[in-house]
């Protein structure tokens, strides 16, 4: 029997770089929410891929950003701790953006701590003339000496094999930490809540979705029929936000629930009956007990 190997890789990088898109693409399942809004990911999300003897454990983390409240403070700490704990870091950058001071600080820190760092230059599908990336690649190479720099397009699933090849070569002999057919350690309720929150992020405008938390109050398959009943509560920060989420004659909430139901049915492969309720918890992002009760601090 060939020797088992494993590697823990943290996906790190600025908000919106495409870390969660990359995680989903690498494991071939949609477990992490993706949106064009900044600060989509709030917690550490584990995705697992086992190929022959190698088990890759990818840890998606909240994107680097300037903290504005207690919640974003927790998010940043999760991001920083996860990078230090990993065997190697996949540092994801949007190749259409300039190198930011947050990139520089993180890359410097990884180099100082001698953590293997693979820089993933994402969104290459947006660049016609690939030679335009050369100056950035040279600068990264000369200043931070990463283990490798890999240009990819996470959304087009382009360049993923190269990531697996490079990461696989760093894997060390070890037993597999998860069963070989498992692709995440996220509980089903958390996955369901995230699918609903993703729709809120996508369908609502700027300020409202950032103040939203979703919890699943009940999730049960009926005994007599193939139907999964899910009851979710959407928490927001203000009465005015509640009105926006519900919409005129409930139209927005209906749209959100129907779009989320579609994803839930695809994921759980069963008919879903989804009920969503909207409640207000003022300024919850600055209240430790509420942040904890929503599962957003470690
Ligand atoms: N064109 C293009 N867009 C991409 C690519 N990868 C991700 N995106 C888009 O970039 C946006 C951000 O993607 P996410 O995966 O949510 O980014 P993230 O780094 O996880 O963001 P945070 O969770 O906020 O840290 C979304 O609109 C994605 O569809 C890519 O390869 N090409
Ligand atoms: Mg994310």
Q: Which ligand is the nearest neighbour of the Cα of 156?
A: 1
Same domain membership, residue 147 and residue 25: yes
179 inside domain: no
Burial of 131 (0-12, 13-18, 19+ CB in 10 A): exposed
Same domain membership, residue 284 and residue 222: yes
Question: Average pLDDT for residues 73-92, to the nearest whole number?
Answer: 93
pLDDT value of position 298: 73
Same domain membership, residue 166 and residue 52: yes
What is the chain's Cα-based Rg?
A: 20
- Map tokens 């190929």 to a residue: 51
Same domain membership, residue 242 and residue 120: no
Residue 145 has pLDDT above 90, yes or no: yes
Residue 41 Cβ contacting ligand 1 at under 6 Å: yes
182 inside domain: no
Residue 10 has pLDDT above 70, yes or no: yes
Same domain membership, residue 210 and residue 136: no
298 inside domain: no
Question: Average pLDDT for residues 242-271, to the nearest whole number?
Answer: 97
- Confidence bin at 1 (pLDDT 50/70/90): low
178 inside domain: no
Distance CA 278, CA 157 (A): 36
68 inside domain: yes
Same domain membership, residue 259 and residue 204: yes
Residue 19 Cβ contacting ligand 1 at under 6 Å: yes
Same domain membership, residue 60 and residue 110: yes
Nearest CA to ligand 1 atom 7: 18
What are the tens digits of pLDDT across the range 66-80?
A: 889 999 999 999 999
Query: The CATH number of the domain where 253 resides is what?
Result: 3.30.300.20
Quote the number of domains for the chain: 2
Distance CA 122, CA 96 (A): 8
Nearest CA to ligand 1 atom 2: 123
pLDDT value of position 297: 86
Taking the centre of ligand 1 as the mean of its atom positions, its distance from the CA of residue 4, in whole angstroms, is 32
Residue 259 has pLDDT above 70, yes or no: yes
Distance CA 294, CA 212 (A): 10
Taking the centre of ligand 1 as the mean of its atom positions, its distance from the CA of residue 94, in whole angstroms, is 8
Query: The CATH number of the domain where 164 resides is what?
Result: 3.40.50.300
Residue 35 Cβ contacting ligand 1 at under 6 Å: yes
What are the tens digits of pLDDT across the range 45-54?
A: 999 999 999 9
Distance CA 257, CA 214 (A): 12
Question: Where is the domain boundary, 173, 200, 221?
Answer: 173
Distance CA 37, CA 43 (A): 16
pLDDT value of position 2: 76
Question: Where is the domain boundary, 124, 146, 173?
Answer: 173
Question: Where is the domain boundary, 143, 173, 203?
Answer: 173
Nearest CA to ligand 1 atom 13: 18
For the chain, give the secondary structure using H, E and C: CCCCEEEEEEEEEECCCCHHHHHHHHHCCCCCCCCCCCCCCCCCEEEEEEECCEEEEEEECCCECCCCCHHHHHHHHHHHHHHHHCCEEEEEEECCCCCCHHHHHHHHHHHHCCCEEEEEEECHHHCCCHHHHHHHHHHHHHHHCCCEEEECECCCCECHHHHHHHHHHHCEECCCCCCCCCCECCCHHHHHHHHHHHHHHHHCCCHHHHCCEEEEEEEEECCCCCEEEEEEEEEECCHHHHHHHHCHHHHHHHHHHHHHHHHHHHHHCCEEEEEEEEEECCCHHHCHHHHHHCCCCC
Q: Ligand 1 pocket: which of 13, 18, 31, 126 to mutate (most atoms <8 Å of CB)?
A: 18
pLDDT value of position 148: 98
Nearest CA to ligand 1 atom 12: 16
Residue 159 Cβ contacting ligand 1 at under 6 Å: no
Same domain membership, residue 107 and residue 211: no
Same domain membership, residue 90 and residue 198: no
What are the tens digits of pLDDT across the range 146-204?
A: 999 999 999 999 999 999 999 999 999 999 999 999 999 999 999 999 999 999 999 99
Contacts of 20 (CB under 8 A, 6+ apart): 11, 32, 33, 34, 40, 41, 45, 60
Q: Which atom of ligand 1 is nearest to the CA of 15?
A: 25
Domain around 153 = 5-173
Same domain membership, residue 13 and residue 69: yes
């Amino acid at each position: 029997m060939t020797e088992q190997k494993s590697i823990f890789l943290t996906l790190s990088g600025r908000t919106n770089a495409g870390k969660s898109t990359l995680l989903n693409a690498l494991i071939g399942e949609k477990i992490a929410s993706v949106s064009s809004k900044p600060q989509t990911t709030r917690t550490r999300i584990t995705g697992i891929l086992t190929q022959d003897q190698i088990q890759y454990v990818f840890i998606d983390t909240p994107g680097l950003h300037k903290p504005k409240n207690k919640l974003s403070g927790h998010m940043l700490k999760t991001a920083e701790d996860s990078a230090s704990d990993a065997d190697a870091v996949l540092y994801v950058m949007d190749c259409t953006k300039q190198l930011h001071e947050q990139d520089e600080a993180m890359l410097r820190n990884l180099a100082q701590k001698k953590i293997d760092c693979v820089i993933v230059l994402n969104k290459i599908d947006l660049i016609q003339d690939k030679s335009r990336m050369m100056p950035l690649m040279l600068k990264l190479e000369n200043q931070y000496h990463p283990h490798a720099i890999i240009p990819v397009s996470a959304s087009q699933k382009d360049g993923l094999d190269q990531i697996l090849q490079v990461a696989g070569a760093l894997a060390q002999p070890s037993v597999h930490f998860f069963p070989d057919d498992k692709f995440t350690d996220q509980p089903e309720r958390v996955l369901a809540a995230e699918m609903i929150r993703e729709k809120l992020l996508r369908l609502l405008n700027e300020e409202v979705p950032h103040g939203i938390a979703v919890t699943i109050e009940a999730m049960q398959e009926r005994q007599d029929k193939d139907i999964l009943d899910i009851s979710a509560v959407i928490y927001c920060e203000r009465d005015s936000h509640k009105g926006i989420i519900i919409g005129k004659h409930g139209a927005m909430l209906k749209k959100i629930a129907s779009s989320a139901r579609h994803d839930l049915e695809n994921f759980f492969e069963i008919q879903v009956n989804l009920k969503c309720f909207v409640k207000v918890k003022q300024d919850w992002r600055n209240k430790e007990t509420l942040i904890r009760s929503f599962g957003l601090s470690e």
